[in-house]
Amino acid sequence: MNFEDYKCLELRRDGRVLTIALNRPEQRNAVNGRLHLELSRVFEDAQRDPESDIVVLTGNGSAFCAGGDIDWMQESIDDPEEFERTAREGKDIVFSQLDLEKPLICKLNGHATGLGASLALLCDIILCAEEAKIGDPHVSVGLVAGDGGAFIWPQIVGYAKAKKYLLTGELMTATQAERIGLVTEVMPRAELDAAVDALARKLAAGATRAIRWSKVATNLPLKALFHAHFDAGIAYECLSNRTADHAEAVKAFREKRKPVFTGH
């Protein structure tokens, strides 16, 4: 991998473990156009990387990922073709995560919302800091959670729980997330690095092919689901990007007020 190709992701190695860190800490790792493009490529690069067997995904700074950057959302409103490019990249992000044969550990160091939550939930194992919150508030900004959330949440926690959080956009605490099985394990932030390192070393010392192929087999039904339905989810999100409610939500965020939705 050529680490210099990435400007919004920081990549580092520790033996056979490759860490991919979202690196916009001052923006709480909110995803802009450049970071989205890099996310659409990095998991394919990690798959081909001959120097790693385990991949860790995390965020630099206090947050894991605060979802979409509000300025980038405005760009997509002003230029629909920008959102079409985003939609194509969104497919690459999801399928490259699911196609990655190497174990993918999420070190959920802080809040994960929207796309950030999807990035976390598409990992294989999620170790979470106890102060983190997680949720998919697409509807709060007038968007459909078509870039992953509408499909991965029900698979992990069932439809009743998933629909509550997807339709309200509410965030939950790490403890709540662990209780309903959304994340693997929760611990104090001071213990998170050591726990992820220990898990990564354990997997790296295991039977590499057996571990990889076990992941591949486990992901087959999930990949079949995404291949069957993901295009529709993206299409609905593209439609919602053109609504007055979404434009109002972005405007309200910038004006630091609550949006007034009209259903249009």
Question: Domain count of the chain?
Answer: 1
Q: Does residue 259 fall inside a structural domain?
A: no
- pTM of the predicted protein model: 0.96
Structure tokens at 31: 């995803």
**pLDDT tens readout for residues 139-182:** 999 999 999 999 999 999 999 999 999 999 999 999 999 999 99
Q: CA quadruple 203, 206, 207, 208: dihedral positive or negative?
A: positive
pLDDT in tens, 183-241: 999 999 999 999 999 999 999 999 999 999 999 999 999 999 999 999 999 999 999 99
Q: What region, left, alpha or beta, does residue 175 occupy, with left being phi > 0 and alpha being psi -120 to 50 degrees?
A: alpha
- 125 lies in some domain: yes
The predicted-structure confidence for 5-64, as pLDDT tens digits, reads as follows 999 999 999 999 999 999 999 999 999 999 999 999 999 999 999 999 999 999 999 999
Q: Where are the alpha helices (DSSP H) in 113-205?
A: 115-121, 149-157, 159-168, 174-179, 189-204
Over range 232-258, report the average pLDDT.
95
pLDDT of residue 238: 92
Specify if 155 maps to a domain.
Answer: yes
Query: Is 173 within a domain?
Result: yes
Q: Can you tell me whether residue 79 is helix, strand or coil?
A: coil
The predicted-structure confidence for 60-82, as pLDDT tens digits, reads as follows 999 999 999 999 999 989 987 88
Q: Say what the pLDDT of residue 48 is.
A: 97
* CATH number of residue 163's parent domain: 3.90.226.10
Mean pLDDT of 238-250: 95
pLDDT in tens, 184-199: 999 999 999 999 999 9
pLDDT at 179: 98
Residue 81: inside a domain: yes
According to the model, what pLDDT value does residue 68 have?
Answer: 93
Task: Give domain status of residue 254, yes or no.
Answer: no
Tell me what pLDDT residue 224 has.
97
Q: Indicate left, alpha or beta for 37 from its phi (over 0: left) and psi (-120 to 50: alpha).
A: alpha
Residue 157 lies in a domain: yes
Q: How far is CA 84 from CA 32, 80, 89, 224, 242, in A?
A: 15, 6, 9, 23, 12
105 — pLDDT class (breaks 50, 70, 90): very high
User: In terms of residue numbers, what domain contains 153?
Assistant: 3-204
Residue 84 has pLDDT above 90, yes or no: no
Whether residue 52 lies inside any domain: the answer is yes
Positive or negative, the CA dihedral 106, 111, 113, 115 is negative
